[in-house]
Amino acid sequence: MKKNLVVLTGAGMSAESGISTFRDAGGLWEQYPVEQVATPEGYARNPELVINFYNERRKQLLDVQPNDGHRGLAAMEQDFNVTVVTQNVDNLHERAGSTHVIHLHGELTKVCSSRDPYNPHYIRELKPEEYEVHIGDKAGDGSQLRPFIVWFGEAVPEIETAVKYVEKADIFVIIGTSMNVYPAAGLLYYVPAGAEVYLIDPKPVDTHSDRPVHVIRKGASEGVRELRGLLVP
C-alpha cells in the first residue's frame, strides 16, 4: 500500500526554471504593483494592462522547462500517492509528469469569464499559439476573457479540495514557499499529528507551527533529490 505524499509548492519551486518570483528582490511586485495586476479592482480599472501582463507571463512559459525538482516529484509517483498542491500558476509540474496537481491560485494557461470566473463552462485551456489574449476576446457568456487567476481579495475555491488530501497525508512536504500567504500557509494545520513533515528551502522559513519539521536547506532540485534519498529505500 503506497503512502500518501502531499507536497505544497511555492515560487521557489519554479525559480530554478527561470520563472520570476513575485516577492524577492527584483521580483515582479517591484516592477508591477500588486494592486495594478493582481486584484479585481486593478482589472476593472485597466483590463488591458492586466491582460497584457498575463500574456507576457504566458509567453515566458514557452522559454522555460521543468527543473530536476519538478521531475523528481513526478518520479516519486512510482513509490507514493503524490498530490501536488501548488501556489504557482505555471504548468511546470504537469510538464514534468505529475498527474495530480491542485492549483490554488489558478492556471496561467487558462482563461475564463470576467463575469463568472469559476463557471467551468467558460474556463478554457489555451494552446501555445493562443497565448496572446486581446481586449474584445469573449468568453462563452459574452464577457471579456480574463486570466484564470485567483487575485488578491478573491476566494480560493480549491483550498477545500487541498484540505481533503492534506488531512490524509502520511508525509507532507513544503517546497519554496514563505508560508506567509493564506489560506495556503494554513494547510500545515490540517496535517495529521502522526505524519512526517519536511521543508525544502535554501532560506529560513517560519512555519508558524510547533510541530517537528525536517528541514533541508537547499533549493528545489537538490532538496527533492535529498528528500527522495531519505524516503525511497
| Residue range of the domain that includes 223 | 1-19+65-105+155-233
Say yes or no to pLDDT of 178 above 70: yes
Active site residue 208: no
Whether residue 181 is found in the same domain as residue 221: yes
Whether residue 92 is found in the same domain as residue 175: yes
Domain count, the chain: 2
CATH number of the domain enclosing 140:
3.30.1600.10
Whether residue 193 is found in the same domain as residue 233: yes
| Residue 210 confidence (pLDDT) | 87
Q: Rounded mean pLDDT of 87-110?
A: 97
Whether residue 131 is found in the same domain as residue 228: no
Whether residue 202 is found in the same domain as residue 230: yes
Whether residue 98 is found in the same domain as residue 48: no
Whether residue 222 is found in the same domain as residue 179: yes
From the number of C-beta atoms within 10 Å of its C-beta (0-12, 13-18, 19+), residue 47 rates as middle
Written as nine digits, the cell of 206 is: 517560519
Whether residue 181 is found in the same domain as residue 214: yes
* Choice among 93, 103, 105, 208 that is catalytic: 105
Q: How far is CA 93 from CA 15, 98, 141, 210, 215, in A?
A: 13, 6, 31, 30, 22
pTM: 0.92
Whether residue 45 is found in the same domain as residue 91: no
Reported as a single tens digit per residue, the pLDDT across 117-142 is: 999 999 999 999 999 999 999 999 99
**What does the mean pLDDT of the chain come to?**
92
CATH number of the domain enclosing 193:
3.40.50.1220
In terms of residues, how long is the chain? 233
Whether residue 117 is found in the same domain as residue 160: no
Whether residue 160 is found in the same domain as residue 197: yes
Mean pLDDT is lowest, of 15-24, 80-89, 107-116, 193-202, for 15-24
